[in-house]
Structure 1
Amino acid sequence: MKKLEHYFVTLNGWLLIAMMAGMTLVVGANIALRYSTGHSLPWADETARYLMIWMAFSGAGLILRSGGHVAITNLQDALPSAGQKLLRGAIVLGLLMFFGFMVYVGLQYAQRMQYQVTPALRLPFLYVYAAMPIGFLLLMIHLLLIAHPFITAGRYKRADDPDDAAATLPGGANG
């Protein structure tokens, strides 16, 4: 299971790197063309925008597993150990329910938009809006993978933890 988790996290990280590289190349090429020829690529801004949307949704799970999202822990810190575990369990359950709801809503929205196309790329909006349900599904998977250590000890899986090979990201210290 650890090996499968490692491959999942690594693949997620490499897909983010590929999207960032693609966005960088498209925007860089557009800038170079604009200044060297006076013309720009009509689809460059749209492509960069949609890649950014996909990066935000698909990268949220990697940030979640390392504890990178905003958290206010005043209530948790004021509770005894058993209360902290119960609260963290309730948080995980609440997040799973919210993420599941967002997958459902995202699928509905993407299906409604499948017949509209983007202005420059002429790409069905289904592919743009699919980032939402896929991103929230990734969030659910990442949350389930870190749920036990988070609930029991309040720990997240960190990329620099040598005891946790599954948290290794591409290009990290353990990569």
Structure 2
Amino acid sequence: MRKLEHLFVTLNATAVILCLIAMSGIVFANVSLRGLTNHSIPWADEVARYLMIWMTFLGAGLVLRQGGHVAITNLQDALPGRAQIALRAALVLLLLGFFLFMAWVGRDYMLRMQFQRTPATRIPFSYVYAAMPVGFGLLIVHLLLVARGFVCAGRYRSDEGAPAHG
């Protein structure tokens, strides 16, 4: 199971890195062409924006694994041991419910946008908005993979599987 989780995290991180490389390359090429030839690539800004959207949603689960999202722990730190566990369990359930709801809303929004096309590339907007249900689906998987360690010990798992304090 740990190898499967490691593969999942590696594939997710690779997708984020590929989005970053593509976005950086497109922006660099467009700025260079604009500076050198006074012409720019008509679709570059649009594609870079959509890659950033995808990169953000794909990377959110990886950040969750590291405990990198904003957290206020004053209440948790003030509670005794069992109450901390109960609070963390409630947080996991709340997050899971929110992620499921947002994946459903994102899917609905994606389906509504299937007939509109992007201005420069003329691809259906549903491809752009698919980032939302995919990203929240990944958040659900990442949350479920780290939930036990977080609830029981208040720790997140790093990419290598070693615990990292949140």
| 2:103–2:137 contact (8 Å) kept in structure 1 | yes
Matched, 1:92 2:98: no
1:49 is matched with 49
1:31 is matched with 31
CA RMSD, Structure 1 to Structure 2 (Å): 1.4
Unaligned runs of 5+ in 1: 168-175
| 1:3–1:166 contact (8 Å) kept in structure 2 | no
| 1:65–1:146 contact (8 Å) kept in structure 2 | yes
Q: Deviations over 1:120-164 (max 9, x none)?
A: 0101000000000100000000000000000000001124x6xx2
1: CA distance, partners of 2:158 / 2:162: 10
Matched, 1:2 2:30: no
Q: Deviations over 1:66-108 (max 9, x none)?
A: 0000000111111110000000000000000000000000000
2:132 is matched with 132
1:113 is matched with 113
In percent, how many aligned pairs have the same letter? 62
Unaligned runs of 5+ in 2: none
SS at match of 2:144: helix
Amino acid at match of 2:24: T
Q: CA deviation at 1:36?
A: 1.3
2:40 is matched with 40
Amino acid at match of 1:52: M
Distance 1:3 1:72, change over 3 A: same
TM-score by length of 1: 0.91
2: CA distance, partners of 1:2 / 1:108: 33
Amino acid at match of 1:41: I
1:22 is matched with 22
| 1:43–1:120 contact (8 Å) kept in structure 2 | yes
Amino acid at match of 1:44: A
| 1:6–1:165 contact (8 Å) kept in structure 2 | no
Aligned length: 164
